[in-house]
Amino acid sequence: YMPYAGQYDAYALADVLYGDYAPTGRLASTWYADMSAFPALSRYSIPEGQTAIKLEDVDPRYSVDMTNADPIESSLTYMYTKAPVTYEFGYGLSYSSFEYGNLEAPSAVGGEEPFQVTIDVRNTGGTETSEVVQLYVKHNDPAYGEHAPQKELVAFEKVRIAPGETRTITLTVDPEDFAVWDVHSGELVVEDGPYALMVGASSEDIRQTRTI
């Protein structure tokens, strides 16, 4: 898939296809495996007050509600979905391979000051290229239940690594990014308790995990 990316896009694509440049892009959305991931069209999907059109009047080819933009209610995006996906958030191809190890993080952190996480990444392939190291977080026992994200991207870094080289990547994390909206207090809240830090190459390709 090659969208219009400017007058130099064909030359750039040729470089990737012929191996003169390794692809390093990552998906910023979730590509679902089929339509079952989307909420079904129901009578509640028809705009309130609409009397001219009833659910039985809708063309049967249109079976899903594409107007529901609430990711929690619709169980969509990588943060909430449990549906099968073809390509997950953060997915991307490479002409090399990478090994992750030695995830280090503070044993405990406060809710206000940023902290740092380090991870060693080794290029185990034969091509010098970049890896996009992604750090996700989740609360292990959230008070908000299913309304809390099952994982959330809080930091990432794109780093170029030569074949056989190992680099230590430092990711700075802001605890405020852990916050969830509390409807009772009307503000963002950072919950106390244990969090899992998950580092990997995509939202599903997690290589190292640590609890803080």
For residue 67, the model assigns a pLDDT of: 78
Whether the predicted pLDDT of 46 surpasses 70: no
β-pair type (31-32, 85-87):
antiparallel
Question: If pLDDT is split at 50, 70 and 90, which confidence band does 47 have?
Answer: low
Contacts 24+ apart (CB under 8 A), 48-53: none
Model's pTM, two decimal places?
A: 0.87
pLDDT tens across 127-178, in order? 999 999 999 999 999 998 888 999 999 999 999 999 999 999 999 999 899 8
Determine contact, residues 134/197, Cβ cutoff 8 Å. no
pLDDT tens across 2-20, in order? 777 788 888 988 999 999 9
Question: Rounded to whole angstroms, how far apart are CA atoms 114 and 107?
Answer: 14
Average pLDDT for residues 96-104, to the nearest whole number?
A: 97
